[in-house]
A and B are shown apart, each in its own frame.
Chain A
Amino acid sequence: MTKHLEIRLSGSGGQGLLLSARILAQAFASEGASVSQSQSYEPTSRGGLSRADLVIDGVRPDFPLAEKLDYLLVLHQCAAGASDEIINDDMTALIDSELVTEPPAGKFKVKALPLTRTAREIGNVRIANIVALGALAGLSRMIDRERLEDTVRKGVPPKFLDLNLEALEAGYRLAEESRDN
C-alpha cells in the first residue's frame, strides 16, 4: 500500500517548479498512487512566491492539501518563510545552498545542496528545477528511479530531453555525494 506523503516544492515564479511537481505527480500516479496536486502563485507570472504541493496516498484523501510536510524543497530565498504552518521536526528540507541564505529554522533535517550552481554548470540555470527533483528523489528514495526517468522522458519535449536527463542525473549524484559525508 502507498505510504501517505506530503511534498512541497517552493521557490520563485519562473523556476519551473510546477513542471517538476507535475513530473513527480505523474511518476507516482503511474505507480497507481492517488496524487493530489495543488499550487499557489502570485498574480505575476514571473517572480514572486510559487509553490506546488503533492499529497500522495493509496486512496483519494479526504483533505487534498498539505498539512504536515514530509519533504520541503526551497529553491529561492523568497520561499523560505512560506511554509511555517506545515513544517515539522520529522521532515526533511532540501534547500539551494546558493540562493537560500537564511533557511527555514527548525529541528528537522536540512540538506543544503548547490542545485542552481549545478544547473549552471550543466549549461542552463533554468534546469535547476530538474536537478532539484533528482536530488530530492535521490535523498528520499520516495520513488523508483527508473520510473521517474521514464516520466521525464514522456513529459518533456524531445529537444530538451537530453538536458533534462542530465540534470536529473546530476541531482541524483548530488544526493549520493551528500549521503557520504
Chain B
Amino acid sequence: MSKQRLQNIPGNHACALGAVAAGCRFYAGYPITPSSEVAERMSAELPKVGGMFVQMEDEIASMGAVIGASMGGVKAMTATSGPGFSLKQENLGYAAQAEIPCVIINVMRGGPSTGMPTRPAQGDIMQARWGTHGDHPIIVVAPDSVAEIYSETIRAFALSERLRVPVVVLYDEVVGHLIETVDLQPAPEEQLASRKWAEGPREGFLPYRADADMVPPFPRPGDGFRTHTTGLTHDENGFPTQAHERVEAVIGRLLGKLDRHKELIESYEAVGCEDAEVIVTAIGISARAAKKAVATARKNGIKAGLFRPITLWPFPEEAFRKLSAGASAVVVPEMNAGQLALELERFAPGKVSALTRYDGEHIDPSQILKRIEEVLS
C-alpha cells in the first residue's frame, strides 16, 4: 500500500476526494456550514483533473447547474446542509422524475431552519427520503467514518449513474469534521462506469423506453438523438402525458426500478445479530457509539448486536426483519426526535426503544449501554 494513499483528513475532504476518484468532473454549490469544506476541496481538486467548479448564487441554482451538467453527460455533484438541502428539494425531484444522475451531499446540522450551524444533528433522515414532493425514487447512503465517506461517495456515483437516480450521501457534522485515517485507494473498476449511453438507430428512438433492467439508456446531447427532457410526467417518448393508463406504467417503472436492483443498492453492517437479545440500529456518529456500546455489552455478558444500514434508503428491510426477529428489543439512538425509530417500528412492532437527543450533542456509548441494560431488565 503506497504511503501517500493513507491520509489523515476530515470527512468532508474524503468526500471531495471520493467524488474525484469516482470521476466527478462538475461541482456546483453554495457555501453552508458544516459542508463548505467539500466545496473548498472540490474547487482545489477539480481544476487539476480538468473538471469544472462553479459557485452558484444559491442552492436552487446549484442543484440546477448540477443537473444541467449531468444532462450534458458529465458526472456531477453538489454539497449542502440543512437550509440548503431544503432549497435543493424541488430540483432534486426533477432529477428523480427526469432520471438524471447526480450526487447530493448533505452534512446534517441542528435544525429546523437556521438552527445550530456548527452543531451536529441527524434530523434529515426523513427529509432525505421524502423531501421533494410526490412519490419518487431516491437512494440515500449513510457513512459513519471518514474512510466510509470516501468509499460511499464513490458508490453513490456508481449507483446514480447505473440506475439514473439521484443519490444523497447523508452524514452528520461530527463525521464530516472528524479527522481519521483513510486509504485513498482508486475507485473499484466496477464502480467507475458512466451511465448506459443510448446507441442504435436515431429514428424512432424512445428516450424513456427502458431495457429489461428497467433503466433507459441515456441519450447524450450531440449524439443525434435530439430528445426532450421534462419534469412533467412523460411517456416513453419523453413528451408529457396525463393519460392515466400511461402514467401508471411510467411512474410504476420509476418506482419499481430501485426494487429491481435491491441487491445492488442494499448495504448494511451486522455485528453479532444472530443470537442477540437486543439489537442497536443507528447511523453516523450514533452508529459509532452503538458499536462501542454493543462491544462493551458483549464483554459484560449481554447478548447485544449491531445493525447499521449503510444504504439508509431504501431501508434494508428484509435483512433487518430477519436479523431482528429473535431479539426482544431494538434500541435506536439518533440525534433527532425519533425518525429512524418510527421507520423501524414498522419492521419490529412493539420492540423499538428510541434513544433520542436533539440538543446539538452526540450520544455517548455509555448512554446506549444503559438503555441496553434497561430494555433487558
Contact = CB atoms under 8 A, between A and B. Distances in A.
A and B touch in the complex (CB under 8 A): yes
Interface of A: 25-26, 29, 34-43, 60-65, 67, 85
A35 B145 contact: no
Contact of A42 (B118, B178, B180, B364): B118
Contact of A38 (B118, B177, B365, B366): B177
A61 B179 contact: no
B145 A60 contact: yes
A37 B292 contact: no
A26 B8 contact: yes
Interface size class of B (residues with CB under 8 A): 20 to 34
A29 B362 CA distance: 25
10 contacts: A35-B181, A37-B8, A40-B118, A43-B33, A61-B292, A62-B365, A63-B288, A63-B292, A65-B174, A65-B362
A67 B177 contact: no
B308 to A, nearest CB: 11
Contact of A67 (B118, B145, B365): B365
A65 B286 CA distance: 11
Contact of B117 (A25, A26, A40, A43): A43
Contacts of A60: 145, 180-181
B162 to A, nearest CB: 30
Interface of B: 8, 33, 117-118, 145, 174, 177-181, 285, 288-289, 291-292, 295, 362, 364-366
B257 to A, nearest CB: 36
B179 A36 contact: yes
Contacts of A65: 174, 285, 288-289, 362
Contacts of B174: 38, 65
A29 B285 contact: no
Given A29-B8, A35-B181, A37-B178, A62 B364 contact: no
Contacts of B33: 43
Given A29-B8, A67-B364, A37 B179 contact: yes
Nearest to B360: A40
Contacts of A25: 8, 179
Among all A-B residue pairs, the 4 with the closest Cβ atoms: A37-B179, A63-B292, A62-B292, A62-B291
Nearest to B116: A43
A35 to B, nearest CB: 6
A34 B181 contact: yes
Contacts of A34: 180-181
A152 to B, nearest CB: 16
A39 B362 CA distance: 12
Nearest to A30: B8
Contacts of A64: 145, 178, 180, 288
B369 to A, nearest CB: 11
